[in-house]
Amino acid sequence: MVGSAQFWGILVRMKVPPPPGTDKKPSRKRVPAEGLRRSRIRRGLTQAQLADMVGIHRNSVQNLERGVTRRVAPALAAALAKALNVTVEELELRVRPAAPASIRMRQLTPEQRAVVEELLTLGPEDFEFVRKTISALRERNAHRPAPKGPRQRR
């Protein structure tokens, strides 16, 4: 009597293709970010220089260019595009979807959550006033130089 493993071994040696639906998982092919590499070289930057500009490790840039890293966060894609003066689409990166609002809410400090909860209770007129105030703050801050380093939570 031939066991199952022996049976498949015989079929493999005979070069008989496996029945449909029993083959292995499809391979996860690397998709290099050629646009990222072209843009970096066009700007005359090394991987280390680009990594320093964006605030990531040189190996991360290398992994993106080689296709080892498959998908990037929207914020990283935007930072790379800004550093290279190109659009995100030109980098040919696979950008993963933004985190759902529930995940972003969990990342807020208790004080920030309280502000959001308070906004949800406002009437339409008060909400419009807060929206205009935030727009005015954005305009005012647009003229200020951007702070260096990561944003600090309080």
Residue 9 in any domain: the answer is: no
From the number of C-beta atoms within 10 Å of its C-beta (0-12, 13-18, 19+), residue 40 rates as buried
Please check the confidence at residue 2 and state whether its pLDDT lies above 60.
no
pLDDT in tens, 19-50: 666 555 555 566 678 899 999 999 999 999 99
pLDDT of amino acid 124: 84
Compute CA distances 55 → 2, 17, 28, 58, 131, whole Å. 60, 49, 28, 9, 32
Contact 47, 84 (CB under 8 A): no
pLDDT of amino acid 62: 93
Task: Quote the pTM value.
Answer: 0.50
Residues 84 and 105 in one domain: no
- As a whole number, the mean pLDDT across the chain is 80
pLDDT of amino acid 44: 95
pLDDT of amino acid 120: 81
Torsion of CA 54, 60, 65, 70, to 10 degrees: -110
102-141: burial string, b at 16+ Cβ within 10 Å, e else: eeeeeeeeeeeeeeeeeeeeeeeeeeeeeeeeeeeeeeee
Please check the confidence at residue 91 and state whether its pLDDT lies above 60.
yes
Residues 83 and 54 in one domain: yes
What's the average model confidence in pLDDT over 123-128? 86
Which of the listed ranges 22-31, 98-107, 138-147 does the model predict with the highest average pLDDT? Answer: 138-147
Domain coverage including residue 138 = 101-142
Please check the confidence at residue 77 and state whether its pLDDT lies above 70.
yes
Residue 67 in any domain: the answer is: yes
pLDDT category at 103 given cuts 50, 70, 90 is low
Residue 3 in any domain: the answer is: no
CA distance linking residue 154 with residue 109, whole number of Å: 7
DSSP per-residue letters across 106-135: HTS-HHHHHHHHHHHH--HHHHHHHHHHHH
Last residue within a domain, chosen from 70, 91, 112: 91
pLDDT of amino acid 149: 55
Amino acid at 65: E
